[in-house]
Amino acid sequence: MGFENLVFLWKDGGDSRKISRVNLAEGAYLYKLVHNLSAPYIVEIGTMRGGTTKLLEEANQSGVVFTVDLAPNIETSLGERAHSIVADSTKIEVNVDSVDLLFIDGNHFYEGVKADWDNWNKAVKIGGHIVFHDCYIVKKKYKTVIDLIKELKNNKTIGNNYVEQQAVASLCHLIKVG
């Protein structure tokens, strides 16, 4: 399915988010990334209404998507290449190392996203991608996704093991290099 057939995931106007909780620019970025991968093995943390699951499945007709959520409420018609897993992403025993794209869009508090990072980053193969959603400064007193990214830069994980790609809006895109 081409990107033009996925516009129902968004609405017109300033905040384009609808079924998909990524905005239109972020959706286009993810679509292009996945479209250009070869038969990608994709893991998504945070299914919600299935908006980005649909996008990730349709962006590449040879890919498979495993999407994890504590309590998904899927409103999109997913195909046979998308698999919903109802579970706490931080408690899943991860024993794979060949994931091409890990899309992290679950618990956005620092402790939650750190737990996802600790549990899942080993699943991504060298040359594979990790994309975080909602990586922006929240003017509140709690720590969030951006604090994890700062920490990974400070301890040189980003730099030595991952390189950051220029992405769009609130996406943070890393490629695993070691």
CA pair distance 2, 135, nearest whole angstrom: 27
Q: Strand 82-86: give its sheet, edge to edge.
A: 82-86, 64-69, 41-45, 99-104, 124-132, 172-176, 162-165
CB of 92 to ligand SAM, least distance (A): 8
Please select the residue that binds ligand SAM; options are 23, 60, 107, 121, rule is CB under 6 A. Answer: 107
User: Closest distance between ligand SAM and the C-beta of residue 40, in Å?
Assistant: 17
Q: Which one of 68-76, 122-130, 140-148, 163-171 is the stretch in contact with ligand SAM (CB under 6 A)?
A: 68-76
Quick check: 20 binds ligand SAM (CB under 6 A)?
yes
Residue-wise DSSP of 114-143:
HHHHHHHGGGEEEEEEEEES--S--SSSS-
Taking CB under 6 A as the rule, does residue 90 contact ligand SAM?
yes
- Min. distance of Cβ 155 from ligand SAM in angstroms? 23
Q: How far apart are the first and last CA of the chain?
A: 34
29 backbone dihedrals φ, ψ, rounded to 5°: -65, -45
User: Is 68 near ligand SAM (CB under 6 A)?
Assistant: yes
Regarding 43 and contact with ligand SAM (CB under 6 A), the answer is no
DSSP designation for 144: B
Binding site for ligand SAM (CB under 6 A): 20-22, 46, 48-49, 51-52, 68-71, 88-90, 105-107, 112
